[in-house]
Amino acid sequence: MNKPTFHPWPNPTCPVCSKFFVARKRYEKDRKPHQRYCSKKCYWSRPRMDLGEARDRQSIAVNKWRLKNKDRNRASQRKRSDQWNKNNPDKRKSSLQLQGAVRSGKILKPDSCSECGKKATGHGLQGHHEDHAKPLEVIWLCAKCHKHLHAIVMGDRFINMKRVGLR
């Protein structure tokens, strides 16, 4: 005896070519994305959003989530900050000393990045400590150069740790 055919959703038609077809899975949640189309050809020729639109949708969703979970985010950020301060007392101390020196006028921030020469606006320049034992000796870098410098330093550290067998 043949099994009766069933239609898991109201209109079992292909969204691309509008052709009627019989679905293989009973429930929509069990179906894979390509099973919403009558053929692989229709699946691959379906209209897709471009990368910019996908990023916009994602950023909208992330911003909604951040607004919805503002207190939770603030608490977790505070927890991470406190943990970092606890684990890095020498870095925290040198950072606070540098901030105090800049506020009091002992140290003047330059107008541009010492690496790429890009003019900085607002809080655009960051002080990089080569040695945290000397808190007032810093290299002033834009965020991009500072991030790049740390990526290089951390990359070397990671490679050395691999060589020694720590990772």
- Is 160 a residue whose pLDDT tops 70? no
Taking only the tens place, the pLDDT of each residue in 41-71 is 888 888 776 667 777 888 888 888 888 888 8
- Is 10 a residue whose pLDDT tops 70? no
The confidence score (pLDDT) of residue 149 equals 84
What is the H or E stretch that residue 129 is in?
strand 125-129
Q: Is pTM, for the whole model, over 0.75?
A: no
Taking only the tens place, the pLDDT of each residue in 120-156 is 776 688 888 888 899 889 989 888 888 888 877 766 5
Cα–Cα dist 35/143, whole Å = 47
What residue has token string 């740790």?
A: 161
How large a percentage of the chain has pLDDT more than 70?
73
- Is 104 a residue whose pLDDT tops 50? yes
Contact 45, 14 (CB under 8 A): no
- Is 166 a residue whose pLDDT tops 70? no
Residues 93-100: what's their mean pLDDT? 92
